[in-house]
Amino acid sequence: MAFDTRVDAYIENAAPFAQPILKHLRKVIHRACPEVTETIKWGMPYFEYHGILCSMAAFKHHCAFGFWKASLMKDAEMLIANNGKAMGHSGKITSKADLPADEVLIDRIREAMKLNEDGIELPSKNKAEKLPLPEILRKTLSVKRNGLKVFTELPPAHQNEYIRWINDAKTADTKMKRSNKVVEMILKK
């Protein structure tokens, strides 16, 4: 099994409620795909097998888990139902009880593995679909050295995910907190 010490550190630094969730997801991913490798991309743990397979993340009050090619998987609507509301395709996970049964997760992980093994690619995104950068995020990124450069080098889909997360905030204070969190995540090495 290929464990990455940066993922260990990510889990250790997560909020106490999130640690058992992240540990469990990691264990199930490795059980389903013993050949998986771990890495940190865009400040979060990613799991790769013939390309990106899935990712997980911890936030202040919830965790998220998602498949890179969720839109191509069976039950795609269920997997992406919360896209834009929470980073990840399974919505806001606040406890292990929010996760599907291990057998369901394993089935989905193996489905994602097959897509990667078969070389199935996600449809390319039209550059016109890129969301406009909120001014609050632009200002927050500009304050940090290379912040705006690092953000604009992210894939458009990832930029859009961060932008939607900020745009979904109801108050200016929350938008500012989320902007600061985005900068923290993308500049983390």
Q: Which fold has domain 5-117?
A: Aspartate Aminotransferase, domain 1 (3.90.1150)
* Total Cβ atoms within 10 A of residue 156: 15
Q: What is the pLDDT of residue 30?
A: 97
Contact yes or no for 2/37 (Cβ under 8 A): yes
Q: What is the pLDDT of residue 161?
A: 85
Contact yes or no for 133/162 (Cβ under 8 A): no
Q: What is the chain's mean pLDDT, rounded?
A: 86
- Please state the rounded mean pLDDT for residues 165-186: 90
- As a residue count, the chain comes to 189
23 vs 129, residue with greater confidence? 23
**Where are the domains positioned within the chain?**
5-117, 127-187
Q: What is the pLDDT of residue 85?
A: 37
Residue 83 has pLDDT above 50, yes or no: no
Q: What is the pLDDT of residue 79?
A: 53
Model confidence pLDDT, tens digit, residues 101-139: 899 899 999 999 999 999 888 876 555 477 899 999 999
Residue with tokens 């264990």: 27
Q: Cα(first)–Cα(last) distance of the chain, in Å?
A: 23
Cα-based distances in Å from 32 to 27, 43, 148: 9, 24, 37
Q: Return the half-sphere exposure (C-beta side, CA atoms, 13 A cut-off) of residue 129.
A: 12
Q: What is the pLDDT of residue 124?
A: 67
**What is the rounded distance in angstroms from the CA atom of residue 154 to the CA atom of residue 99?**
29
**What is the rounded distance in angstroms from the CA atom of residue 128 to the CA atom of residue 131?**
8
Contact yes or no for 29/35 (Cβ under 8 A): no
Coil, strand or helix: which one is 30? helix
